[in-house]
Amino acid sequence: MGRVIAEILTIGDEILRGEIVDSNKAYLSERLLEAEIECHYQLSVRDDPPAMADALRCAAERADVVLVSGGLGPTRDDRTTAVVAETFGRELVLDEASLALIRAFFARVGRPMSENNAKQALFPSGAEVLPNPEGTAPGFQLEVPGASVFCLPGVPRELRRMMDEQVLPRLGCGGAGGAKGPSLVRARLLRTFGIGESSLDSELEGLELPPGVTLGFRTQFPDNLVRVVARAETAAVAEERCGAVVSDLRKRLGPLLYGEGEAPLAAEVVAELREQKRTLAVAESCTGGLLAERVTAVAGASAVFLGGVSAYADSAKTRLLGVPEALLATHGAVSEEVARAMAEGIRGRLGADFALATTGISGPGGGSASKPVGLVYLALASAEETHCDSFVFALDRSRHRSLTAQVGLDWVRRKLLGFELVGPSLMRRDGEEPTGTSDSHGRSHERR
């Protein structure tokens, strides 16, 4: 059976002008791959009817499944439905049930409905309406010669839910309408942290891949991802080859590989804390609450996360965390001594099994010769010891904070799993060795 080929069209002047990031293409492509459908073409088109019609005709000729995003709204530049109808020789017809739902939506939120919203209940004749539970613009599926065309709203939240609930079930095992049959593809996404993309590729040099298996690399800062894609004559063979490569990758990468799929590092940390029935607290200076935000974004975090303090000012470090004023005066806020005191202070106050602390200079100003912009200290305190290390992340302010938070979460994961506590070595200063200082009281400076 032949492979099912998909094409994605995203509609909107705002995309071409760079006013918005077109995240819909990436989401749709990934979900198609998981459904064993290969996306061979992607195109963004202006709100220009001739250009849209051209793109639709071309897509229907070369793809089995065409996913169209955007242009289903009520305004004059939302032209997708009308252009699809004209391009494929269909009349526009009013769907009374959709119109009733749109009116009910506005009644429910207590707003009057503008009459231009009624155009969202017009569909090409023969189309199947796809309900939109998140908004007022329904989508639709239209069978045309050689292809199935699915039109979805451009709002990512609406599109994602409709893709999962409306489109994928209609595609089944790779076929709707003109689809040629199931494509025998299996794919797995592996998440790594602490190694650069080029180093990751080098680390996997010499890895023997079975026939039909390829590796793809991409950066999703601060992580680097490896996509394993296996194609074979049967689904079972594709699954077996994909699984074998994933197993090899796990052995090669060890603790650098922290998870699989879309779950972020914080989700892995929360899951492991729950598994071991341990708790976490955080004391943040330069990250300003980012650690707490990442942890609490994970469902179920309340079982393991006790709380945190964002202590930016020196006075807050003293008052809320018990950091001695003498330490701040002698060593400064960005120092090993203060990082240790912050971690131990929040751990003692909240009674957590583990406590993370961050203090650093995220920039763009505030550095000196001895403490350059980018310098950061992290400390992880437990009942047995407090581990502290410093890094210089020569990055912009946003990425500096993001990377610092990710290192801290990775330390918690490594501590729970019994791995060495290390940071991303590629971000150290040339010739710098890790301090990795640990002791049971926070006073020793022996190198590990």
CATH number of the domain that residue 207 is part of: 3.30.70.2860
Pure H helices in 144-234: 156-162, 168-171, 197-203
Neighbouring residues of 299: CB distance < 8 A, sequence distance ≥ 6: none
* pLDDT, mean of residues 331-341: 98
Let me know: does 353 contact 382? Beta carbons within 8 Å: yes
Residues 166 and 39 in one domain: yes
Q: What is the CATH number of the domain that holds 362?
A: 3.90.950.20
Among all chains, which residue has been given the structure tokens 């707490």?
292
Residues 199 and 296 in one domain: no
Instruction: Determine the Cα–Cα distance for residues 144 and 84; give it in Å rounded to an integer.
Output: 10
Mean model confidence pLDDT for the chain: 90
- pTM score of the predicted model: 0.75
- Checking if the pLDDT of 411 tops 80, the result is yes
For residue 352, what pLDDT is reported? 98
Instruction: Determine the Cα–Cα distance for residues 100 and 97; give it in Å rounded to an integer.
Output: 5
For residue 151, what pLDDT is reported? 98
For residue 15, what pLDDT is reported? 93
Question: Cβ-count burial of 154 within 10 angstroms (0-12 exposed, 13-18 middle, 19+ buried)?
Answer: buried
Asked whether residue 176 is domain-assigned, the answer is: no
List Cα–Cα distances, 208 to 37, 52, 202, 204, 246, in angstroms. Answer: 26, 44, 13, 9, 12
> Domain end: 171, 205, 223, which one?
171
Q: Is the dihedral of CA 405, 409, 415, 417 positive or negative?
A: negative
Asked whether residue 209 is domain-assigned, the answer is: yes
Kindly indicate the confidence band of residue 218, based on its pLDDT and cuts at 50, 70 and 90.
confident
From 214-223, 323-332, 404-413, the region with the lowest mean pLDDT: 214-223
Q: Give the count of domains, the chain.
A: 3
Asked whether residue 447 is domain-assigned, the answer is: no
Instruction: Determine the Cα–Cα distance for residues 259 and 134; give it in Å rounded to an integer.
Output: 30
List Cα–Cα distances, 87 to 83, 145, 153, in angstroms. Answer: 6, 12, 19
Residues 312 and 407 in one domain: yes
In DSSP notation, 99-124 reads HHHHHHHHHHHT-PPPGGGGGGGEEE
Residues 152 and 241 in one domain: no
Higher-pLDDT residue of 437, 65:
65
Instruction: Determine the Cα–Cα distance for residues 141 and 150; give it in Å rounded to an integer.
Output: 4
Asked whether residue 270 is domain-assigned, the answer is: yes
Which range marks the domain in which residue 163 is found? 5-171
Residues 167 and 194 in one domain: no
Q: What is the CATH number of the domain that holds 21?
A: 3.40.980.10
Instruction: Determine the Cα–Cα distance for residues 193 and 419; give it in Å rounded to an integer.
Output: 14
- Checking if the pLDDT of 66 tops 50, the result is yes
Tokens, residue 276: 């071991």
For residue 183, what pLDDT is reported? 45
Q: What is the pLDDT of residues 370-409, one digit of tens each?
A: 999 999 999 999 999 999 999 999 999 999 999 999 999 9
For residue 182, what pLDDT is reported? 40
% of the chain exceeding 90 in pLDDT: 75
Strand pairing partners for 325? none
From 49-53, 172-176, 220-224, the region with the lowest mean pLDDT: 172-176
* pLDDT, mean of residues 256-272: 96
Residues 318 and 419 in one domain: yes
Pure H helices in 254-375: 265-276, 290-296, 314-321, 325-331, 336-350
From 76-90, 225-239, 333-347, 423-437, the region with the lowest mean pLDDT: 423-437
Instruction: Determine the Cα–Cα distance for residues 153 and 156; give it in Å rounded to an integer.
Output: 8
Residues 150 and 277 in one domain: no
Higher-pLDDT residue of 126, 34:
126
Residues 214 and 256 in one domain: yes
Rounded to the nearest 5 degrees, what angle is found at the Cα of 148, between the Cα atoms of 144 and 154?
115
Tokens, residue 319: 């008052």
CA 67 to chain centre: 22
For residue 197, what pLDDT is reported? 85
For residue 171, what pLDDT is reported? 86
Asked whether residue 448 is domain-assigned, the answer is: no
Residues 141 and 275 in one domain: no
Asked whether residue 179 is domain-assigned, the answer is: no
Residues 252 and 303 in one domain: no
Residues 137 and 79 in one domain: yes
Q: What is the pLDDT of residues 87-144, one digit of tens each?
A: 999 999 999 999 999 998 888 878 888 888 899 999 999 999 999 998 889 999 999 9
- Checking if the pLDDT of 179 tops 70, the result is no
Residues 256 and 387 in one domain: no
Instruction: Determine the Cα–Cα distance for residues 422 and 63; give it in Å rounded to an integer.
Output: 47
> Domain end: 260, 292, 323, which one?
260
Most confident of 33-47, 163-177, 373-387, 411-425: 373-387
> Domain end: 260, 288, 320, which one?
260
